[in-house]
Copies of this chain bind each other. A is one copy, B any other.
Amino acid sequence: MEPDSVEMERCIDSCLACYRRCVQTAMGHCLEAGGEHVEPRHFRLLVACSELCRTAAHAMLVGVENQKFVCGACSMLCDDCATSCEGMEGMRECARACRQCADSCARMAA
């Protein structure tokens, strides 16, 4: 495996980890907690972020050459989602997964 394949495998890891964390947090913690956790803008961001992370991972697994478009979009949505999660109760791990995925995707998109 060439060096950039290693980097891509790590980015796939980050994307799937962020996807998993966002879905579990939204459908578990947020729905149970209610209040600001189901505030539409915040909740939609979590759902859209999880979906795009899953698709960025898919684009890299498919091995299409222009996956950088997808990774670039994913990086921006993850950053927005991290900002929305930060400071909210019980969302620290989710925010961290989003920020890490944003960084990893930004490198793939460069």
Contact = CB atoms under 8 A, between A and B. Distances in A.
A59 to B, nearest CB: 5
A54 interface: yes
Contact of A38 (B34, B41, B64, B72): B34
Nearest to A28: B63
Interface in A43-75: 43-45, 47-48, 51-52, 54-55, 57-59, 61-67, 69-70, 72-73
B58 A66 contact: no
B51 A58 contact: yes
B52 A70 contact: yes
Given A34-B38, A38-B34, A54-B54, A48 B62 contact: yes
Given A20-B61, A45-B64, A51-B55, 8 more contacts: A23-B58, A32-B40, A44-B62, A48-B67, A55-B55, A66-B80, A69-B72, A69-B77
